[in-house]
Structure formats: structure tokens, C-alpha cells
């Protein structure tokens, strides 16, 4: 068909088809037709949602996607693993060939480099990760005297066992914070989560069930240093009057909507409270920092794009290099055969030495022409009409 090889990247908010074709126009037409047949949409409707790129624009897009520059959250890491999966599926299925797999591999390498050499992926940009970052920063800054300096040294309680808690646990465990008390309305769900994180991250999690009695929460947080709340309760889990008698310091981090913590709790001398608005401020600040890193990341991606383009251009010289090598070897063998009678008196070891000598001479003679063919900077014809190395070598050796 018109398409030689292909790979598909499919995520929650993007569907991309990468392919290689000898004729770009025919390849794009074939891809559009395939998508139209699969979607059963009129082509006029489908085209409104299609975004087509080719050549350097397509490769640059793939690199930007892997680096997280084209994501809703700049620098997010999930897209890099999804690009890796795209590469694995393309190679395992056989649909991806030399060009597409090389592009995807280059994209993954570029994505890693962008994250390693810039701050494009630094700083929390989700509510759950911001909760960890905010709590850790506030402890180090001693926002409240008497609290430990790090979350690793703190007694941590998490109220609620939903999706946000799962994300929070994942983020904290990845930073080496593994000891928690988990309080939830029902025990089975919390127990399942505790067992899961014990197995996957080595966490030690004490599970407590409230059975709908919020007094249980307040009873089991008396000795806590930091409490994260993430429940679906439409009333305050912690109100100011619940904490007026508290003397030991407490940090409350509320990641719930609606709020689980009464803002008035922050007025107490022994309590410091943060809510989703505080976390959004962290997210906004880090998002702005990431966006400032885009310029530096783009410079790195430009280097990676040039490297891929160089490799791609070098493919055009492969047939000429192969022909040159075959022609040189044929000439060498013909000369060896022509002088065979004169070599009869030589021993097998001496004949092998002559073979090696002739191969070495041919190899050294070909080194210059083949290096010129591989030099992608000079391969394309220029507007002054000066012949390229590829054309010169073809003419010189009658290839």
C-alpha cells in the first residue's frame, strides 16, 4: 500500500498515527481514508479534526509530545511512558519499521533528555503532589513550632480512602514517606488500599474505620503531626471548636472539595491549616516555572531533531554505498583471480596475508568517498548547482 510502516499513539486526549511512506501525499490520503472507514464519519467531518504534519514538522512534533511540551500539563511524565508503549507495540506487532521505530526511539530519548537537563518536569502540578510539596516545605520552614522538619519524621494521618488519597500515597511513597494511619468510613476499602501499598511500596499503614462517627477521626488524630483530609463529606470533619483544647502542634492539609477543614482552624495557635486554594497556588507557581523552561527544552529538541534528520538523510546514501562496496570487492576479487597463477608458490598463510592486504587497501581507498556520502550536511543539492558528494561519487565510480 501507500504506507510502508506505522505506529499509533493513543492516550486520553490524543490519537496520533505516525507512518512512513515513499509518497507523503499518497500516504496522508491512505491514512485519512483508513480513519474515515474506521470512524464511519463523512470525510468532510473527519478533516475538521485531523492535524497533518510531514517531514521535519512531524518529527519535531513527536519530540515535543514525548518531552511533555504538547501536554495540557507541561512536562507531565505519563506521556513519556505512553510513547515508550507506542514504540514497544510498533516493534512487537511488526507494524513499525526502520523509520518509525527510529523516530519513536529518538522521541523517547529526547523526552528523557528534556527532563534530565531542564526543570520542565520539576515541581508539583497536581493537587495530590502539591499537597506533599506544600507540607514538606512548610515543615522545613517551621510554619509551626514543635512540628518535625520532614514528613519522614512526622506522624501522618490520612482521612479518606478515595482516588486523591491513592495519588497522595503514591507520591509520598515515591519520596520515601511510608508510615501512615489511614482513616476511612468503611474498613474493607481502606484495608485493600493499605495492603496494596504495603506490597507495592513497602508502606506501613494502620487502618481505622469510623463507621460514620467523625469523633473517631478526632480521637485518632490527637497525636498526629500532619493530617491530610480527602473525604466526600459535605460538612467539616475538623471545625475550630473540635481543636480548641489541642496543645500539641498540628498541620491540616485539606485536599477535599467541598472543604473538610473549617478555615477558622487556622486561627488557633496550635494549628496551621491549608486548603485547595493554597495547593492551587503551589500548582500555579510550578506551572509557571515549567513554562519558562520550554525555551531551553526546545533548544535540546532542535538538536535531537537535527540528529534524526541526519540519520534519515543518510538512508538515501545507503544504496550508493552498497553498490560502491560491491563494485570494489568485485574488482578486488577479479584482480586476485587474474594474478592467481603468480601466487601459486605462496603458502596458504601467505595467500591469506595478500587477501588481507588487498582488502585493507580497498577499505582505505573507499573511506573518503563513503564518509562524504554519509555527511548529511552536504548531501542535498544546493541552489548554485554544485554537485553533491552523492552525485560526484556516482559519476566517478559509474554507479
The position carrying cell 554507479 is: 399
Task: Answer whether 110's CB lies under 8 Å from 63's CB.
Answer: yes
Q: Measuring CA to CA, which residue among 36, 26, 38, 35 is closest to residue 1?
A: 26
Please report which residue ranges of the chain form alpha helices under DSSP H: 24-39, 43-47, 55-67, 78-93, 98-117, 127-140, 163-174, 187-201, 214-219, 240-243, 276-292, 294-314, 318-338, 348-374, 389-396
Q: Measuring CA to CA, which residue among 134, 211, 203, 127 is closest to residue 164?
A: 127
Count Cβ neighbours within 10 Å for each residue of 116-135 and write b for 16 or more, e otherwise.
eebebbebbbbbbbbbbbbb
Angle, helix 163-174 to helix 127-140, in steps of 10 degrees: 50
Number of Cβ within 10 Å of residue 238's Cβ equals: 24
Decide: residue 65, CB within 10 A, 0-12 exposed, 13-18 middle, 19+ buried.
Answer: buried
Task: Answer whether 391's CB lies under 8 Å from 399's CB.
Answer: no
The CA distances from residue 45 to 39, 53, 388, in Å, are 11, 19, 45
Q: Measuring CA to CA, which residue among 295, 297, 309, 317 is closest to residue 106?
A: 309
Distance (Å, rounded) from C-alpha 230 to C-alpha 155?
Answer: 17
Task: Answer whether 260's CB lies under 8 Å from 229's CB.
Answer: yes
User: Exactly one of 12, 86, 203, 265 is catalytic; which is it?
Assistant: 12
The answer for residues whose C-beta is within 8 angstroms of residue 90's C-beta and 6 or more apart is 6, 7, 8, 96, 100, 101, 104
- Is 86 one of the annotated active-site residues of the chain? no
Distance (Å, rounded) from C-alpha 242 to C-alpha 182?
Answer: 20
- The DSSP line for 53-108 is --HHHHHHHHHHHHHTTTSSSTT-SHHHHHHHHHHHHHHHHS---HHHHHHHHHHH
* Catalytic residue ranges: 12
Amino acid at each position: 500500500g501507500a504506507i510502508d510502516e506505522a505506529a499509533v499513539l493513543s492516550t486520553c486526549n490524543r490519537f496520533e498515527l505516525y507512518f512512513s511512506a515513499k509518497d507523503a501525499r499518497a500516504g496522508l490520503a491512505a491514512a485519512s481514508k483508513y480513519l474515515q472507514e474506521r470512524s464511519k464519519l463523512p470525510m468532510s467531518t473527519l478533516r475538521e479534526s485531523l492535524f497533518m504534519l510531514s517531514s521535519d514538522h512531524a518529527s519535531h512534533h513527536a519530540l515535543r509530545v514525548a518531552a511533555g511540551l504538547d501536554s495540557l500539563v507541561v512536562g507531565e511524565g505519563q506521556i513519556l511512558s505512553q510513547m515508550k508503549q507506542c514504540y514497544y507495540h510498533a516493534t512487537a506487532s511488526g507494524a513499525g519499521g526502520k523509520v518509525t521505530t527510529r523516530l519513536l526511539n529518538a522521541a523517547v530519548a529526547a523526552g528523557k533528555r528534556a527532563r534530565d537537563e531542564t526543570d520542565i518536569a520539576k515541581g508539583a502540578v497536581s493537587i495530590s503532589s502539591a499537597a506533599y510539596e506544600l507540607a514538606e516545605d512548610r515543615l522545613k520552614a517551621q510554619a509551626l513550632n514543635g512540628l518535625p522538619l520532614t514528613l519522614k519524621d512526622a506522624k501522618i494521618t490520612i482521612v479518606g480512602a478515595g482516588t486523591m488519597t491513592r495519588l497522595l500515597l503514591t507520591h509520598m511513597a515515591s519520596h520515601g514517606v511510608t508510615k501512615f494511619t489511614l482513616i476511612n468510613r468503611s474498613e474493607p476499602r481502606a484495608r485493600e488500599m493499605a495492603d496494596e501499598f504495603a506490597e507495592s511500596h513497602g508502606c506501613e499503614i494502620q487502618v481505622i474505620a469510623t463507621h460514620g462517627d467523625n469523633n473517631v477521626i478526632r480521637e485518632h488524630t490527637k497525636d498526629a503531626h500532619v493530617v491530610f483530609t480527602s473525604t466526600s463529606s459535605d460538612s467539616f470533619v475538623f471545625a475550630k471548636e473540635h481543636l480548641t483544647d489541642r496543645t500539641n502542634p498540628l498541620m491540616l492539609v485539606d485536599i477535599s472539595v467541598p472543604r473538610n477543614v473549617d478555615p477558622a482552624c487556622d486561627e488557633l495557635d496550635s494549628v496551621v491549616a491549608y486548603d485547595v486554594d493554597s495547593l492551587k497556588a503551589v500548582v500555579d507557581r510550578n506551572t509557571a516555572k515549567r513554562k519558562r523552561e520550554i525555551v531551553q527544552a526546545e533548544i535540546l529538541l532542535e538538536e535531537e531533531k537535527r540528529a534524526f534528520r541526519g540519520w534519515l538523510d543518510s538512508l538515501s546514501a545507503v544504496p550508493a554505498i552498497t553498490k560502491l562496496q560491491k563494485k570494489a570487492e568485485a574488482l578486488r576479487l577479479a584482480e586476485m583471480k587474474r594474478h592467481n597463477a603468480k601466487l601459486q608458490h605462496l603458502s596458504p598463510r601467505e595467500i591469506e596475508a595478500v587477501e588481507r592486504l588487498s582488502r585493507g587497501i580497498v577499505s582505505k581507498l573507499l573511506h573518503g568517498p563513503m564518509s562524504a556520502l554519509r555527511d548529511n550536511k552536504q548531501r542535498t543539492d544546493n541552489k548554485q548547482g554544485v554537485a553533491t558528494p552523492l552525485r560526484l561519487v556516482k559519476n566517478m565510480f559509474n554507479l
